[in-house]
A and B are shown apart, each in its own frame.
Chain A
Amino acid sequence: MAAMAVCALRRGSGYAAAGFRCSSRLLAQSLRRFASTLIVAEHEGGFVKPSSLSALVAAEAITKENRISVLLGGSGPALHKAADHAASSHPLVSEVLVADSEALAHPLAEPWAQLLHSVQQKGGYSHVIASSTSFGKNLLPRAAALLDVSPVTDVTAIKEPRVFVRPIYAGNVLCTVKYTGEDPCMMSIRSTSFSPATEAMSETKVAPITQVDLSFLSEGTIGKSTWVNLTSQDTERPDLANARVVVTGGRGLKSAENFKLLEQLAEKLGAAGLSFYQKVGATRAAVDAGYVPNDLQVGQTGKIVAPELYMAFGVSGAIQHLAGMRDSKVIVAVNKDADAPIFQVADYGLVADLFEVLDELLKKIPDKK
């Protein structure tokens, strides 16, 4: 009883520390009861990004009795539209925090980490989640250092409120780790492992929207970095990580021109009913050769994808590339080399000239359903 009381007394800020005096069962119970999660969300065009909706699914996986606060930052009407979206995005969302400031208009780690630090200090959340996007990866560790805690990168499964699975060694090993430190338990999640339900919420529950006090912005490191610009090559299509069909080319494609054939195929596959979320990906070799821009790279150090259909043309299948696509539902490989490692993970393989196969596919797949 005494142990329980200690747990209960300290639940607000430091129950992990108090947990040493409790049995692990009691600790697990108190975690289930008092989990409160802050999600650092990204938005675009007035909507919360799909990768951030995945973070909501991860928060729900921690425990069903989770109080979720969603933090959105930036400036302008799109921010407030996204806040409305966030407020009705998930039944567990209990609050949307909006930080409206020019200093947060661009994804600079310095003001954002200060923001996260300040919001955590006030809210005392047990968990903080961001998605493993370039934004999340840039921001979360900096904020964790300010809070003096160790984050968990790229979580693919949540076993218990503080026990997680994450891939290491380019996805060749899955490591189960237990976080034993102080609050908050911070993590970046792999969005392909936490797919949000596709249909809209049945009941309309709208969480309150609160403005964040931004007085911390006047101090600290703000101003030591400035945003100059973003060169974007491909804005019309969804992010590679969320595509349902990915058609990838490697060095075997031989030129930037030939990547257009892959685009045509991707479009046809979209039209064939798989979903219009199709996208062209590439290997490191193809990016280094200048055939396509870097943001199309699939692999350990590029994008991680898990589409319904992954088609690899002229891709040998290096460890580093497999790390980015091995969780795809159906993998098709087309390669001249029958010994290419890609065939070891492919569901369907064609040992053939990729250009002949591409031609034939483009002819045989119908344009519209």
Chain B
Amino acid sequence: MKILVAVKRVVDYAVKVRVRPDRTGLETANVKMSMNPFCEIAVEEALRLREAGAAAEVVAATIGPAQSADTLRTALAMGADRAVHVLHDPDPTRPLLPLAVAKILRAVTLQEKPGLVILGKQAIDDDCNQTGQMLAGLLQWPQGTFASKVLLDKEKQKATVEREVDGGIETICLDLPAVITTDLRLNQPRYATLPNIMKAKSKVIKKVTPEELNVDIRSDMEAIEVNEPPKRKAGVILSSVDELLDKLKNDARVL
């Protein structure tokens, strides 16, 4: 069985982003970019399934401009076998929406015919949390979102997924092929070692365009403006518990 993993290049999670003064977007020049943390977890899970003998091949895919190839190289350095890069130069005012990404990934899925597609549960830039669910819907495959544990049964062609839901942990069973999205506690992604980074340079990245995949990219969302959230007014450092209780009672009136 083959596993397809979708990865996204995003502003590094530790960077504090700034809104451009004209409010049309964010300062992205010279900002550190990395693989979306949830996507790293997705790659790691696919590799673990391959190492456990449940899968034969791991293919990483991304959609984005030429620089997104760095993210694919990272996935290859972690251990993915090969990669697909769907080249797309985004219009900054109309970024690619999850529905378009899902349609492109459906086309890649139909070409690659994996038994399982693993994605992160959300990208930490747009915070949408949609693509995996949409891909599953478009393919009419079952979905296991927010996974914190995945067990594959190769013979029965089933996946048992433990999901992080509001009330606790929910377990569901999916017929393969299926789509799974990863939560933070699914695994601890490995670091790429130097020899593996070198090896990754010789692995194949296939380049395609949305047109070649016959996907029409439509954008139904217009970003009107971006703003900084309202600043909280400066707080005070108190010296004792008594003072805290007094403030909560008399100033904040919450006690």
Bound complex: CA of A224 vs CA of B143, how far in Å?
9
Partner of B248, one of A135, A145, A301, A348: A348
A275 to B227, CA, bound (A): 34
Given contacts A150-B97, A169-B11, contact A295 B164 (CB under 8 A): yes
Is there a chain A Cβ closer than 8 Å to B238's Cβ?
yes
**A30-55: which residues lie under 8 A (CB-CB) from chain B?**
none
Q: Which residue of B lies closest to A318 (CB)?
A: B14
Asked whether any CB of chain A lies closer than 8 Å to the CB of B244, the reply is yes
A residues in contact (CB < 8 Å) with B: 107-110, 113, 133-135, 137-146, 148-154, 163, 166-182, 220-221, 224-235, 239, 241, 269, 272-274, 284, 287-288, 293-295, 300-301, 303, 308-309, 319-320, 326, 329-332, 338, 343, 345-351, 357, 360-361, 364-365
A309 vs B13: C-alpha distance when bound (angstroms): 28
CB distance from A265 to the nearest CB of B (A): 12
Q: Is the CB of B184 within 8 A of A173?
A: no
* Interface hit among B47-55, B74-82, B83-91, B171-179: B171-179
Instruction: With A109-B136, A138-B145, A173-B228 as known contacts, state yes or no: A294 contacts B129, CB within 8 Å.
Output: no
Query: Does B211 count as interface, using CB distance less than 8 angstroms?
Result: no
Q: Give Cα A293 to B167, complex, Å.
A: 10
B34 is an interface residue with CB less than 8 A from chain A: no
* Cβ proximity bits B134-163 to A, threshold 8 Å, 1 near / 0 not: 111110111111101000000000001001
Q: How far is the CB of A32 from chain B (nearest CB, A)?
A: 19
Minimum C-beta distance from A197 to chain B (A): 20
Chain A residues, CB < 8 A from B132: 141
Q: Chain B residues with Cβ under 8 A from A224's Cβ?
A: 141-142, 174-175, 178
Bound-state Cα–Cα, A171 to B38, Å: 17
Q: Are B235 and A225 in contact (CB under 8 A)?
A: no
Contact with A along B203-244 (1 / 0, CB 8 A): 000000000000000101111111111001001111011101
Residues of chain B within 8 A of A308, CB atoms compared: 254
| Contact pick for B143, options A138, A178, A320, CB 8 Å | A138
Supposing A150-B97, A177-B221 touch, asked if A228 and B160 sit within 8 A by C-beta, the answer is yes
B41 to chain A, nearest CB (A): 11
**B185 adjacent to A109 (CB under 8 Å):** no
Query: Smallest CB–CB gap between B163 and chain A, Å?
Result: 8
Q: Output the nearest chain B residue to A327 by Cβ-Cβ distance.
A: B229
29 contacts between A and B (CB under 8 A): A109-B133, A109-B142, A134-B165, A137-B129, A137-B146, A141-B129, A144-B99, A146-B137, A152-B221, A167-B229, A170-B124, A173-B227, A174-B229, A180-B222, A182-B220, A228-B171, A228-B173, A230-B167, A230-B168, A231-B169, A232-B167, A241-B166, A269-B255, A274-B255, A287-B185, A294-B168, A347-B252, A357-B241, A361-B244
B130 touches A151 (CB 8 A): yes
- The contact size tier of chain B is 35 or more
Per the bound structure, the CA–CA distance linking A345 and B236 in Å amounts to 10
Quick check: A295 and B167 within 8 Å, CB to CB?
Answer: yes
Q: Are B17 and A167 in contact (CB under 8 A)?
A: no
Give the complex CA separation of A236 and B107 in angstroms.
46
**Cβ contact within 8 Å between A294 and B174:** no
Q: How far is the CA of A309 from the CA of B247 in the complex (A)?
A: 12
Contact between A135 and B166, CB atoms less than 8 A apart = yes
Give the complex CA separation of A154 and B127 in angstroms: 9
- With a cutoff of 8 Å between Cβ atoms, the chain A residues found around residue B17 in the complex are 169, 172-173
Specify the main secondary structure of chain B where it touches its partner.
mixed
Residues of B within 8 A of A303 (CB): 166
Binding site for A on B (CB under 8 A): 11, 13-14, 16-17, 19, 26, 38, 97-99, 102, 121-122, 124-138, 140-146, 148, 160, 163-175, 178, 183-185, 218, 220-229, 232, 235-238, 240-242, 244-245, 247-248, 252, 254-255
Q: A142-B136, A168-B125, A300-B127 are in contact. Are A364 and B166 (CB under 8 A)?
A: no
- CB pair B235 A347 closer than 8 Å: yes
Q: Which residues of B contact A343 (CB under 8 A)?
A: 235, 237
Q: How far is the CA of A167 from the CA of B221 in the complex (A)?
A: 15
Known: A145-B138, A274-B255, A284-B184. A177 touches B128 (CB 8 A): no
Pick the most buried of A137, A241, A274, A345: most chain B CB atoms within 10 A of its CB: A137
CB distance from B146 to the nearest CB of A (A): 7
A142 touches B238 (CB 8 A): no
